[in-house]
């Protein structure tokens, strides 16, 4: 079978990840071990979950600028309520997911720009997080800590979890009817509505999934760091967007890939370590990370041009 | 005709959009075992009628019956009856595969394990209509060629899934198919009709309609002007039926067109005639909507407008047809809206010269007759016709020798139209050239020369007294499908 456009698209993030990994191993051969890989990808799990959350929103042609604040909020709830009064904590997190679904409903019904609504909501989530934890603190529930530090055979926890998460998200997005519907709304909202589906329901579902994965990201983060802070995940907003795009997603048109998003998140995590191994001063790291992003996107633009030529032929 | 009640019928359907009467008492019955050809020029009401039939638009007057019973008609009811629609603009999700699109289109059809089933359904549907199609149902729609996308869309409309298809509406289904594929489709339509289905076929290729349809309905100005068995029509008869029943109007007398003048611009299209425009000429673009007229205007604009800094006197000005979308600046005043095209001429040392701006705006207010007490008021305080006048003034103010107009008279009242026609003629006499796309044939009679567009190319050129409704209709509707059009 001829490689489909989607496969070529998916190859880019894998190539980028492979190249970075090769670079890291070359600079620091000791990273090529169970413990080394675990350290390298330690923080990748929450980032991958947040990236998937962003992916569900981008799939319906919206953009979530509150993802970092929301993950921080979920982390604060996990480190306090979920630890002290598990039932109340679970209830709050469930309400947060429902709140996300409601956001999707409001954005669709009132025709509001998602960027503005989520930008506003980012202050709401941040405010709630500060109210819960005015100073860094809290504690991870024991089971969560145990889950995040488990040492499975063969593959370190971070990689095994990333693979499982990618598979689960792939099932939802690429294989289930709901995933097709969500991507259909991103591709051609009108024809989905004409076929008798509820676009409102699809958007609410996409936002609810975003909320769910955001909550999971916050929980995973607390499981790793054992405490929380209202600002703990603020940079996740941009990381998650970059991860989706790096993973072969498009801002509009419902073209997203769950596997790609996870690989994109891993690549971004690794880019930080790679630059540290290069002994690049932290002042330059963000700029260098941006340069890596531009490089990968340029590679994809080239592939897109090839793809278009293929269609025309 | 059998005595069985019609599958779907409308009686005395009436619908108005603001000033425009779209349907003016249309009665139509669609019966099982019948292919109805629907023809008419722009604004005849075909698309509106299709949108009423598929439940997208509610009638303001008249009644609609399904299987002989009066019903509450909407998109869901239309689907439940077995009505399927293939629109001229493609309505698949480009980011999904063919099979996934089948999943979206046939909502209640599938269970949890749907992927293999959806692939089978899509493949069976394609095989039935287009044997030997060579389309991989696992391919993303965006990776398919335009003709293949149209084939997928048509095949899925005829697919046996959900409420079985009983009535299929095809709006220009062959516009991007080549001749042999189009023949496959038309023979499938005949099979479908012979098996008791009903089809509404809209096409600008008259031979297709004459060969395939059992009955032909001709529409004009929101009314049905002919409804007879297809066998009673000839191509010439169809064109005549689409034309106006009133006498041909006399062309406005005016001086001879400066045909000998050197052309200002010559634009060669990949196919068909090159489009020539000379100074002082009003060149009309006509033909059915969507056959390449707007694309020509855009191409001319892109070619002549500087990509970087605009000079003091631009080479070309553009009057947008879709006022709300790409014409007015809704938050600005009338004056700012009017002068924005000439800002570089009204600028002194990097600042806008407000006195000159006021003077220019006032001059054009009196010249073009913008009815407003104060040009400082917001543009939205004006009526639609007056907003359009502001856009005209904006285009003329800049002093460009060539003005492109993209169907600017849509939804403008008759009085304003007459005023603007006068200004266009006066400006043309003063040496300016106009390229004017209009969906109304009457406006073409104000032009010196007219290009009739069909399938993305200028198919005919008419000049002076040749510009008649009949000649334009004849050229708009091809007698036969173009070979190799894709």
Q: Where are the domains of chain A?
A: 13-22+41-304
For tokens 């075992």, name the residue: B33
Q: Where are the domains of chain B?
A: 8-82+163-242, 93-148, 263-467
> Is pLDDT at B468 greater than 90 in this prediction?
no
For tokens 């000159």, name the residue: B356
In 3D, which of B467, B476, B470 has the Cα closest to residue B446? B467
pLDDT-derived band at B246, boundaries 50, 70, 90: very low
Instruction: For Cα atoms B179, B180, B181, give the angle at the middle one, nearest 5 degrees.
Output: 95
d(CA A211, CA A203): 12
Of residues A45 and B88, which shows the higher confidence score?
A45
Rounded to the nearest 10°, the torsion over CA A175, A178, A182, A185 is 110
CB of A191 closer than 8 Å to CB of B92: yes
Over residues B249-285, the pLDDT tens digits come to 444 444 445 555 667 788 888 888 888 898 888 999 9
pLDDT at A248: 87
| Nearest Cβ partner for A184 among B96, B112, B114 | B96
| Nearest Cβ partner for A196 among B76, B91, B115 | B76
pLDDT-derived band at B215, boundaries 50, 70, 90: very high
d(CA A119, CA A126): 11
Instruction: For Cα atoms A66, A69, A75, give the angle at the middle one, nearest 5 degrees.
Output: 135
Quote the CATH superfamily of domain B263-467. P-loop containing nucleotide triphosphate hydrolases (3.40.50.300)
> Is pLDDT at B7 greater than 50 in this prediction?
yes
Q: Measured between CB atoms, does A192 come within 8 Å of chain B?
A: yes
CA-nearest residue of chain B to A1?
Answer: B136
pLDDT at A161: 94
What are the residues of chain B with a beta carbon less than 8 Å away from any beta carbon of chain A? Answer: 75-76, 79, 85, 91-96, 100-101, 103-107, 110, 112, 114-115, 138-140, 142-145
> Is pLDDT at B244 greater than 70 in this prediction?
no
pLDDT at A38: 87
d(CA B401, CA A58): 46
When scoring B96, B119, B146 by the number of chain A Cβ atoms within 10 A, the one with the most, hence best to mutate, is: B96
Residues of B in contact with A5 (CB under 8 A): 140, 142-143
> Is pLDDT at B462 greater than 60 in this prediction?
yes
pLDDT at B480: 65
pLDDT at B469: 83
Q: What percent of chain B has pLDDT over 90?
A: 24
pLDDT at B482: 54
pLDDT at B310: 62
> Is pLDDT at B36 greater than 90 in this prediction?
yes
Query: What are the angstrom distances between the C-alpha of B208 and each of B182, B212, B375?
Result: 9, 6, 54
pLDDT at B456: 85
d(CA A103, CA A214): 14
Q: What are the counts of helices (DSSP H) followed by strands (DSSP E) for chain A?
A: 14, 0
Question: Beta B215-220 vs B223-229: how paired, if at all?
Answer: antiparallel
> Is pLDDT at B485 greater than 60 in this prediction?
no
Average pLDDT in chain B: 84
> Is pLDDT at B125 greater than 70 in this prediction?
yes
pLDDT at B5: 80
Q: Measured between CB atoms, does A190 come within 8 Å of chain B?
A: yes
Residues of B in contact with A311 (CB under 8 A): 142-145
Q: Judge if B8-82+163-242 and B263-467 fold alike in CATH terms.
A: yes
Query: What are the angstrom distances between the C-alpha of B107 and each of A194, A195, B136, B324, B441?
Result: 11, 7, 22, 35, 42
d(CA A219, CA A228): 10
| Nearest Cβ partner for A254 among B92, B95, B103 | B95
pLDDT at A48: 96
Three-state SS at B161 = coil
Q: Which CATH class is domain B8-82+163-242?
A: alpha beta
In angstroms, the separation between the Cα of residue A266 and the nearest Cα of chain B is: 25
Three-state SS at B170 = strand
pLDDT-derived band at B188, boundaries 50, 70, 90: very high
Q: Which two tokens stand for residue A300?
A: 């994809």
Over residues B382-420, the pLDDT tens digits come to 877 788 888 888 988 888 889 999 888 876 777 778 888
Residues of B in contact with A181 (CB under 8 A): 104
Over residues B324-372, the pLDDT tens digits come to 777 888 889 999 999 888 888 888 888 888 899 999 899 888 888 888 8
Question: Beta B402-406 vs B8-17: how paired, if at all?
Answer: unpaired
Three-state SS at A217 = helix
Q: Measured between CB atoms, does A255 come within 8 Å of chain B?
A: yes
What does pTM read for this prediction?
A: 0.81
For chain A, which ranges sit under pLDDT 50? 1, 313
Read off the pLDDT of each residue in B81-87 and give the average, rounded to a whole number. 88
Hey, which of B120-129, B259-268, B436-445 has the most confident mean pLDDT? B120-129
pLDDT at B311: 64
CA-nearest residue of chain A to B111?
Answer: A177
Read off the pLDDT of each residue in B72-82 and give the average, rounded to a whole number. 86
Residue count of chain B: 486
| Nearest Cβ partner for B96 among A180, A194, A197 | A180
């Amino acid at each position: 079978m001829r490689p489909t456009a989607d496969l070529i698209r998916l190859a880019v993030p894998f190539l980028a990840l492979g190249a970075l990994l090769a670079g890291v191993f070359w600079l620091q051969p000791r990273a090529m071990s169970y413990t080394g890989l675990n350290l390298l990808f330690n923080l990748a799990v929450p980032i991958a979950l947040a990236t998937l959350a962003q992916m569900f929103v981008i799939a319906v042609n919206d953009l979530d600028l509150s993802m970092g604040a929301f993950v921080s909020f979920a982390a604060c709830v996990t480190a306090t309520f979920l630890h002290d009064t598990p039932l109340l904590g679970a209830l709050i997190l469930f309400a947060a997911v429902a709140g996300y679904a409601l956001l999707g409903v409001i954005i669709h019904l009132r025709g509001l720009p998602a960027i503005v609504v989520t930008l506003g909501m980012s202050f709401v989530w941040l405010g709630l997080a500060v109210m819960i934890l005015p100073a860094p603190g809290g504690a991870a529930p024991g089971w969560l800590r145990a889950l995040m530090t488990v040492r499975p055979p063969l593959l370190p926890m971070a990689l095994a979890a990333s693979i499982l998460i990618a598979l689960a998200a792939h099932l939802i997005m690429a294989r289930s009817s709901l995933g097709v519907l969500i991507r259909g709304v991103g591709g051609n909202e009108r024809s989905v509505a004409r076929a008798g589906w509820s676009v409102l329901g699809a958007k609410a579902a996409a936002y609810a999934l975003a909320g769910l994965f955001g909550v999971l990201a916050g929980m995973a983060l607390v499981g790793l760091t054992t405490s929380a802070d209202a600002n703990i995940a603020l940079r996740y907003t941009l990381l998650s967007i970059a991860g989706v795009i790096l993973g072969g997603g498009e801002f509009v048109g419902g073209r997203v890939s769950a596997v790609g998003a996870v690989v994109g998140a891993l690549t971004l995590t690794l880019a930080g370590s790679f630059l540290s191994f290069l002994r690049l001063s932290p002042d330059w790291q963000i700029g260098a990370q941006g340069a890596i992003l531009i490089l990968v996107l340029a590679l994809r633009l080239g592939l897109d041009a090839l793809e278009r030529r293929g269609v025309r032929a | 005709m059998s005595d069985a009640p019609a599958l779907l019928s409308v009686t005395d359907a009436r619908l108005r959009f603001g000033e425009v009467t779209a349907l003016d008492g249309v009665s139509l019955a669609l019966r099982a075992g019948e292919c109805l050809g629907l023809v008419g020029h722009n604004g005849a009401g075909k698309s509106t009628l299709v949108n009423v039939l598929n439940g997208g638009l509610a009638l303001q007057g008249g009644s609609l019956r399904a299987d002989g019973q009066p019903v509450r008609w909407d998109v869901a009811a239309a689907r439940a009856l077995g009505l399927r629609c293939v629109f001229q603009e493609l309505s698949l999700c480009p980011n999904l595969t063919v099979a996934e699109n089948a999943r979206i289109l046939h909502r209640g059809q599938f269970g949890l394990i749907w992927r293999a089933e959806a692939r089978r359904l899509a493949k069976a549907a394609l095989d039935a209509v287009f044997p030997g199609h060579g389309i991989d149902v696992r391919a993303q729609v965006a990776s398919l060629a335009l003709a293949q996308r149209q084939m997928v869309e048509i095949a899925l409309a005829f697919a046996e899934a959900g409420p079985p298809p009983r009535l299929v509406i095809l709006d220009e289904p062959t516009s991007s198919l080549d001749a042999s594929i189009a023949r496959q489709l038309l023979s499938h339509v005949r099979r479908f009709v012979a098996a008791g289905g009903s089809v509404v076929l809209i096409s600008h290729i008259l031979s297709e309609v004459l060969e395939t349809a059992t009955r032909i309905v001709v529409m004009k100005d929101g009314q049905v002007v002919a409804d007879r068995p297809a066998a009673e029509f000839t191509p010439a008869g169809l064109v005549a039926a689409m034309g106006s029943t009133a006498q041909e109007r006399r062309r406005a007398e005016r001086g001879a067109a400066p045909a000998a003048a050197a052309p200002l611009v010559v634009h060669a299209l990949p196919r068909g005639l090159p489009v020539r425009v000379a100074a002082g000429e009003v060149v009309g673009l006509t033909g059915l909507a969507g056959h390449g007229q707007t694309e020509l205007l855009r191409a001319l604009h892109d070619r002549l407008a500087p990509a970087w800094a605009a000079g003091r006197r631009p080479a070309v000005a553009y009057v947008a047809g879709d006022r709300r979308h790409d014409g007015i600046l809704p938050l600005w005043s009338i004056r700012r809206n009017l002068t924005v095209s000439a800002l570089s001429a009204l600028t002194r040392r990097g600042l806008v010269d407000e006195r000159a701006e006021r003077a220019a705006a006032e001059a054009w207010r009196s010249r073009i007759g913008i009815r407003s007490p104060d040009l400082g008021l917001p543009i939205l305080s004006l009526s639609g016709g007056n907003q359009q006048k502001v856009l005209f003034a904006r285009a003329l103010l800049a002093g460009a020798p060539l003005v492109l107009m993209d169907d600017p008279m849509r939804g403008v009242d008759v009085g304003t139209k007459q005023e603007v026609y006068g200004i266009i003629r006066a400006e043309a006499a003063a040496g300016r050239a106009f390229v004017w796309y209009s969906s109304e044939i009457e406006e073409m009679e104000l032009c010196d020369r007219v290009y009739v567009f069909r399938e993305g190319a200028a198919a005919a050129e008419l000049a002076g007294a040749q510009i008649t409704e009949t000649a334009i209709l004849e050229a708009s509707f091809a007698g036969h499908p173009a070979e190799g059009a894709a």
